[in-house]
Structure 1
Amino acid sequence: MRILHTSDWHIGRTFHGVDLLADQSRVLDSIAALVREYSVDVVVVPGDVYDRSIPSADAVTVCNRGFEEIRDAGAVIIATSGNHDSAARLGAGAAFSRAGGLHLMTTVAGITSPVVLDDEHGPVAFYGIPYLEPEITRTQLGVPAARSHADILDAAMDRVRADLDVRAADAPGPRSVVLAHAFVVGAEATGSERSISVGGVETVSASAFGGVDYVALGHLHSPQTLAEHIRYSGSPLPYSFGERTHRKAVFLVDLAVDGLRRVERVDLPVVRGLRQLTGTLEELLEGEHFEDAEECYVSAVLTDPQRPVDAMRSLQTRFPFAVHLEWQRPAGTEDLRYREKVHGRSDVQITRSFLTDVRSEPSPREVRLVEAALGHADRAGEDTAGVVVLEQSA
């Protein structure tokens, strides 16, 4: 049996305010194409199908179309709910969709009701462990004292192994695949994931998944291998500029008669690249070496001595997908160091420079008024100092 492991679609997510539905539709098409190209039997999606618990109508449309394309390509789909999903909403109609080859596993009760599919070697049992919030699920799992995600996942996996033992009692046990949405110790977050810690430790041990042939993980957004049979596929698109160097991928998992045979990473096409650019506004708009960023999502750091006016609008004339901008005051620029700027200058020179910076060059008449005002202030200060001296002497 050949399985394609993908996860964390986050359908409906925006990127710095930009709608990503078109990009997400394209990447789901590419997954369907891989199903055809590699003759995939099952596509597993361990959580965060949607980005919000109440997805928009357009997000639902894109997701359903992606499911249809994958199913038409020949694969059965098995998906669980993640911490971004509403388990109840995602699982609505699960009994009906099952008849069409889409299996939505979103409940605690469903953990011990695997999807069992057959190939030439016999059955394969797919167990779906949705995102389990300890405070909500500990009683359902029979561990009322549990507080951490590790405690909850241990209880869920105990149920999976118990079910496998029952199935193996009368005949050779089925090969097994577990879908889980969790943060496993040893894996690395990318920064675009939402924390799943609510009043407890969010990480779980990889050892919790003992006794199964393959563990398809969701939650973290970069492809990672924790053990040969325990992997994160990561998200199909980058969802933060911290992921700009990541190459998104899926895993092709082949099961033989005795369990896991091999796992192959397949890179997904880059729908739209991410670039982080640094320079003055003029350098970014004119520099030839920035040409390859013109069709990318761009985060720009401007280093102009003064903050440019309407910089984002200007940037988008060259980089239409510029989505983030910040101005970074150049470090060490002499004219921005106030102490060095005023050192050795008279009060009149400092005031004249200030007026020039904030308004315009003062006229000769204005300079005379400034000199008179400063002279008056100096005399007033001297008189005050004399009074203080006399008071101290008295």
Structure 2
Amino acid sequence: MRFLHTSDWHLGRSFHREDLLAAQAAFVDHLVETVTAERVDCVLVSGDVYDRALPGVDAVRLCDEALARLAARTRVVVIAGNHDSARRLGFGSALMDAAGVHVRTDFAAVGEPVIVGDAAVYGIPYLEPELVRHPWELDERSHAAALTEAMRRVREDAAARAERSVVLAHAFVTGGESSESERDISVGGSSQVSASVFEGVDYAALGHLHGAWRITDRVRYSGSPLAYSFSEEKHVKGSWLIDLREDGVASEFVEAPVPRRLARLKGRLDDLLGDPAHEALEDRWLQVTLTDARRPSAAMERLRRRFPHTLVLGFEPAGGGTDGARTWSGRVRERSALEIAGDFVAEVTDGPATGAERALLHEAFEACRRKEALA
């Protein structure tokens, strides 16, 4: 059996106001060509098909076109990610089953596989811990508890079958590295889950992290097909071509087309504009950080004369400048929404958030997450 593992399309997303729909359409063309050329038996799409719960019309049209083109050539299994609305993505799934497109968004059905040849393919959509805790009678509210119970149900069903088992899941599994473009899914603690939860399956096709990470030979992230933040500058984007063989898993990484490469530059404005070593970066999307002692006037306009695709401009004076203040992006990087909100409370009240205030903020964020998951 040959599978093509992809995820995190984020259809409808832009890149610092640059429209990516044409680049996403080019990726769909590439995906269809790969399916045909490599005689793929099934495409696995491991969540975050859309970038938001209410996707735009153009994004929906592209998704419809992609699934129709793939269904004309192979089988497709899709799960919902944390960016998707499970209800909206799952609309019409019973009808689409007949066409060979199997959309799995209901957590209650994680133990019901799609049979593709001699493989049982189990779709585990993104599991919001609070939404599954009571129906599944879990002892704790955590990603680890939710995914462990989902895999228990998968193993229970797989034990009664002769087919090999493949799992799609959307989660943060230990061993991968996050980038700046993934939405935080932590719930009052660690969002990470051990890869050991997938022990016993022939292959686990993961989604959520945007890099192509090989956690083990049998547990992998395909990553997003396009870069969605400058932190992904070094990523190689694409999909995993997976062959299930009697003696294990054989894999090949199929690189995706790159609409425009990324780069980051840092230095004094005059140096950046005059250095011939930067000629190769003139056609790239750039994030530029200026280190001049004083903020240069018309800096973006001057940069774009040489580097027309400069998208982000930051300012970090050498030596910390006159007040040593960090940029906003630097202060919030790798901090959760709850921590940032706590910092805001401290800023406006001249003191750290109290336990009661933090509990109220946590409750508010959790209510927003539940509402979005049910959208």
TM-score normalised by the chain length of structure 2? 0.81
Paired position in structure 2 for 1:43: 43
The aligned runs of 1:132-211 (5 Å cut-off) are 132-140=127-135, 142-166=136-160, 168=161, 173-211=162-200
Paired position in structure 2 for 1:354: none
Q: Deviations over 1:319-376 (max 9, x none)?
A: 332110012323399xx89xxxxxxxxxxxxxxxxxxxxxxxxxxxxxxxxxxxxxxx
Pick 1 or 2: higher relative contact order, CA cutoff 8 A, min separation 6.
Answer: 2
Give the whole-Å Cα distance in 2 for the aligned partners of 1:328 and 1:12: 32
Contact 1:214–1:260 (8 Å) recurs in 2: no
Give the whole-Å Cα distance in 2 for the aligned partners of 1:232 and 1:179: 10
**Which AA in structure 2 matches 1:38?**
E
Instruction: Quickly say closer, same or farther: Cα 1:260–1:305, change in 2 above 3 A.
Output: same
Answering whether residue 87 of structure 2 is matched by residue 88 of structure 1, we say yes
Give the whole-Å Cα distance in 2 for the aligned partners of 1:191 and 1:260: 34
Instruction: Quickly say closer, same or farther: Cα 1:312–1:66, change in 2 above 3 A.
Output: farther
Contact 2:165–2:201 (8 Å) recurs in 1: yes
**Identical residues among aligned pairs (%):** 47
Answering whether residue 261 of structure 2 is matched by residue 266 of structure 1, we say no
Moved over 6 A (4+): none
Answering whether residue 91 of structure 2 is matched by residue 97 of structure 1, we say no
Give the whole-Å Cα distance in 1 for the aligned partners of 2:61 and 2:275: 41
Once the two structures are TM-superposed, the CA of residue 153 in structure 1 deviates from its matched residue by: 0.8
| SS at structure 1 position matched to 2:149 | helix
**Which AA in structure 1 matches 2:76?**
I
Aligned residues: 323
Paired position in structure 2 for 1:311: 299
Give the whole-Å Cα distance in 2 for the aligned partners of 1:312 and 1:96: 51
The aligned runs of 1:13-92 (5 Å cut-off) are 13-72=13-72, 74-92=73-91
Paired position in structure 1 for 2:6: 6
- RMSD over aligned CA atoms reads 2.1
Once the two structures are TM-superposed, the CA of residue 299 in structure 1 deviates from its matched residue by: 0.6
Unaligned runs of 5+ in 2: 324-375
Q: Deviations over 1:188-223 (max 9, x none)?
A: 212321111123532111111122111001111111
Q: Larger Cα Rg: Structure 1 or Structure 2?
A: 1
Give the whole-Å Cα distance in 1 for the aligned partners of 2:197 and 2:242: 21
The aligned runs of 1:251-262 (5 Å cut-off) are 251-256=240-245, 258=246, 260-262=248-250
Unaligned runs of 5+ in 1: 338-394
Once the two structures are TM-superposed, the CA of residue 286 in structure 1 deviates from its matched residue by: 4.1
From 317, 320, 323, give the equivalent of 2:308: 320
Instruction: Quickly say closer, same or farther: Cα 1:300–1:124, change in 2 above 3 A.
Output: same
| SS at structure 2 position matched to 1:331 | helix
| SS at structure 2 position matched to 1:154 | helix
Instruction: Quickly say closer, same or farther: Cα 1:100–1:317, change in 2 above 3 A.
Output: farther
Paired position in structure 2 for 1:288: 276
| SS at structure 2 position matched to 1:227 | coil
